[in-house]
Amino acid sequence: MQTKVLVAYASKYGSAQEVAEEIAATLRENDLVVDLKPVREVRTLEEYAVAVLGAPLYMLHWHKEARGFLSRHHEVLMKLQVAVFALGPLSNREEEWKEARAQFDKELAKFPWLTPIAIEIFGGKFDPKKLHLPDKIIVSLPASPLHEIPASDVRNWTAIRAWASKLATQLQPALPQ
């Protein structure tokens, strides 16, 4: 039986989607059969042996569609190999990466049944000019950590591809049913 992989993502402004696309492409280069879908379009996980779930952190939380996906598919996900990633840090400051990892760990702790085979944080992308409401208002508040910070894109494509390649080597072949 073939190991079929679902790469599911949530994304507000497209940067997590692009990371998910790169991960899906890298897994395919490693001879895996991969479907790439936004989480809200995933109806069933029946055909998959592996799920890779990725989404950005917003206001200290993992995107709510990613959390909803875990809750909705809890029973099936317990039988799959699951890998998760979050986007967040907008600079290369070590402190910011530690905070993002702590936020992500806290979010994942809400799903104690989940035992991912890989957990990763990737740098994010931010463009204050492209924000919609209410993010525009949030960022305009002087108390916001994102107040007046410049546009940035700290996604490290080499690290993203390396993570996906390593993941491909970690996957156990699906067992015949």
Q: State the residues that interact with ligand FMN by CB under 6 A.
A: 11-16, 56-60, 87-90, 100, 103, 124-126, 131, 135, 138-139, 146
Cβ of residue 176: shortest distance to ligand FMN, in angstroms? 37
Cβ of residue 139: shortest distance to ligand FMN, in angstroms? 6
Which residues have C-beta within 8 Å of that of residue 107, sequence separation ≥ 6?
57, 61, 62, 67, 86
Cα–Cα dist 19/125, whole Å: 11
Calculate helix-pair angle for 15-29, 157-170, nearest 10 degrees. Answer: 50
Instruction: Decide whether 32 or 39 has the Cβ nearer to ligand FMN.
Output: 39
Strands 152-153, 125-126: pairing is: antiparallel
Report the residue closest to ligand FMN, judged by CB.
88
Cβ of residue 25: shortest distance to ligand FMN, in angstroms? 17
Instruction: Decide whether 13 or 111 has the Cβ nearer to ligand FMN.
Output: 13
Name residue 119's beta-bridge partners.
Answer: 84
Instruction: Decide whether 4 or 65 has the Cβ nearer to ligand FMN.
Output: 65
Cα–Cα dist 126/67, whole Å: 22
Instruction: Decide whether 119 or 138 has the Cβ nearer to ligand FMN.
Output: 138
